[in-house]
Structure 1
Amino acid sequence: MLAYIVRRLLYAPLILVGVNLLTFALFFVVNTPDDMARMQLGVKRVTPEAIERWKAERGYDKPLLFNASANGVGAFTHTVFFEKSLRMFVFDFGRADDGRDIATEISSRMGPSLTIALPTFVLGLFVTVAFALLLVFFRSSYLDFWGGVLCVGMMSISGLFYIIGGQWLISKIWHLVPISGYGGGADVSRFLVLPVLIGVVGGLGASSRWYRTIFLEEAGKDYVRTARAKGLSELQALFRHVLKNGMIPVLTGVVVVIPSLFMGSLLTESFFGIPGLGSYTIDAINAQDFLIVRAMVFIGALLYIVGLLLTDLSYTLVDPRVRLE
């Protein structure tokens, strides 16, 4: 297991370099440094001198990937890609186009993102697993049938519908909670209720249907039938055997979601005015701020690698066969 972990960690820098290169290429296919300068300067007829000055101040006055005027290794190191990428691997993200430190902004916005994402994750996992077990317990009944119909219907509805519909019904019509915004201290709970509720309801259909399929497959295996034959009730077999062994594939989907807890939800934070990392990323995309976008993609890739590693490690806790291997 230790050798496997070391091998996966050695893969991580190569993956991060590839993700960084891909992000760099996609961004500058859409916008050149000259386009970025014109957008930031906000002048339609900006002078070439002002564009060159803006590029020099922010380090965009060099070639993007290959510097033909440099010799040897300098042809690759005296470029925008190398100079902007090298600092990212020591978590020095630099400053945004508006002058604010990116690392400071990320650390300050991580709190609101976690405040929304953690309750949604924990409550959503509990509700979806419980609903899936309920459908398996009453399998082949009218409850199972109509529960499946409900899951398919909820899967077919866009997440925007839940957000806009929830804001209209709960906030605008019933006036139960604020429609958007974010507050500190004890006041934050008023702003959490609606986005957490919408997050749980929006993911109920797809997750419950997937968990039901997993648990239903386990419920039909020989060891569960043997447990029933030995006198275990259906409820005991469901919680002692089906749930425990069904958690192995469930962990794959659950642990991989962990990076999104730190990165925030783009739609939720944007629509509810939450100053988290999701809204920060959306604002950076709209402003064409390359350094912020690439920093967020870099952190997301790093967290995703960590999530996959935690997934493999979590298997050892629920599957004895992995420990034996």
Structure 2
Amino acid sequence: MHAGKHASEEQIAEIRRELGLDRPLHMQYVFYVKQIASLDFGRSWATRQKITDMILDGIPASLSLTFPAFMITLVVTISIALLLVFLRGPRFGEIVDKSVMVVCLAAMSISSLVYILFLQYFLGYQLGWFPITGWDPDWVGRWEYLILPILIYVVLSLGSNILFYRTIFMDEIFQDYVRTARSKGLGPKAIMLKHVLRNALIPIITITVVQLPFLILGTLLLEAFFGIPGLGGLLYSALGNADFPVIKAMVFMSAVLYMFAQLLTDILYALVDPKVKLS
């Protein structure tokens, strides 16, 4: 695939040698382990650049998009979910709660491509509020190119996250400790912020931290559409070019990020709940 349909025997042999496919199976495994240990995944078929350098170059761009988008989404969705549970009870609050649920479900049924194309066209092209595409390597200058992708990411994440956090908070408000707090005279606001939110942190941490690896690579479409030279854009280009060495390196990096997320989850458990001990 890399050499084309009309590749010569010499070209095919060279590619097999580069990938280690000309060796016995056990030696291929040893070759792969050496690549992992040295973090040397060879060179890209498409650009002939060192893959490790390409990944290191893409990390700052991806983090400048994903970190603020992730934090804004987390704060906004938890706040809305808490507010919905807080208002639930009176007729007006119940109407608001059900209306938001319907809107969230409807929003989740729309493809992410629709959001990207519509908001890019309407806010970027029609109104001219934001650049449609482009990138500035300077940390200060790049933010004008990041506002619209971050906004789109937040909009894409609102529906599912609000429903998830609302479900967690709804489970908590029917627990015995909430009834005990009410019997002691605590107001609804104090119960929600001091007790419900704190006890809901364990499931929130679980789903939030596990999302991190998929978050970094999951901005693939946003980076591709907006020309952001991050890890998502790198993976998008590699898939389009059948750049197998880059794809292999990105899959390995995803696995490492996932294991790191699991470790971080356990550490945060112990910090949030003293009853959880690390061993």
Give the structure-1-normalised TM-score.
0.79
Aligned mate of 2:35, from 70, 84, 87: 87
Residues 1:202 and 1:170: Cα distance change in structure 2 (over 3 Å): same
Aligned counterparts, 1:43-54, within 5 A? 44-54=5-15
Cα 1:119/1:49, change in 2 over 3 Å: same
Map of 1:232-251 to 2, 5 A cutoff?
Answer: 232-251=186-205
In the TM superposition, what is the alpha-carbon distance from 1:310 to its structure 2 partner?
0.9
Aligned residues: 273
1:262 positional shift: 4.3
Distance 1:46 1:258 in 2: 41
1-side partners of 2:15 and 2:270: how far apart? Answer: 53
> Of 138, 142, 150, which residue of structure 1 is paired with 2:95?
142
Q: Is the alpha carbon distance of 1:201 and 1:323 closer, same or farther for their aligned partners in structure 2, counting shifts above 3 Å?
A: same
**Shift in Å at residue 48 of structure 1?**
2.7
Q: Deviations over 1:256-309 (max 9, x none)?
A: 122245446111111111100111011111211211111111011011001011
The residue that corresponds to 1:13 in the other structure is none
User: Post-superposition shift, 1:321?
Assistant: 2.1
Matched, 1:126 2:66: no
Q: Deviations over 1:112-149 (max 9, x none)?
A: 00000001000000000001001101114111111111
Instruction: State the match for 1:113 in structure 2.
Output: 62
Other structure's SS at 1:286 match: helix
Runs of 5+ consecutive residues of structure 1 not aligned to the other structure: 1-34, 39-43, 68-74
Q: 1:212 aligns with which of 160, 166, 170?
A: 166
Q: Give identity over the alignment, percent.
A: 39
Alignment check: 8 A CA contact 2:235 2:246 kept: yes
TM-score of the pair, normalised by structure 2: 0.91
Match of 2:155 among 187, 194, 201: 201
Find the counterpart in structure 2 of residue 96 from structure 1.
Answer: 44
* C-alpha distance in 1 between matches for 2:6 and 2:213: 43
Greater Cα offset, 143-152 or 115-124 = 143-152
For the aligned residues, what is the CA RMSD? 1.9
Q: Are residues 223 and 53 of structure 1, via their aligned partners in 2, closer, same or farther at CA, if it must alter by over 3 Å? A: closer
Q: In the alignment, which residue of structure 1 is the partner of 2:2?
A: 36
Q: CA separation of 1:148/1:262 partners in 2, compared to 1, >3 Å: closer, same or farther?
A: closer
**Residues of 2 paired with 1:227 and 1:59: CA distance?**
64
What pairs up with 1:154-303 in 2 under 5 angstroms?
Answer: 154-185=107-138, 186-263=140-217, 265-303=219-257
Secondary structure in 2 matching 1:231? coil
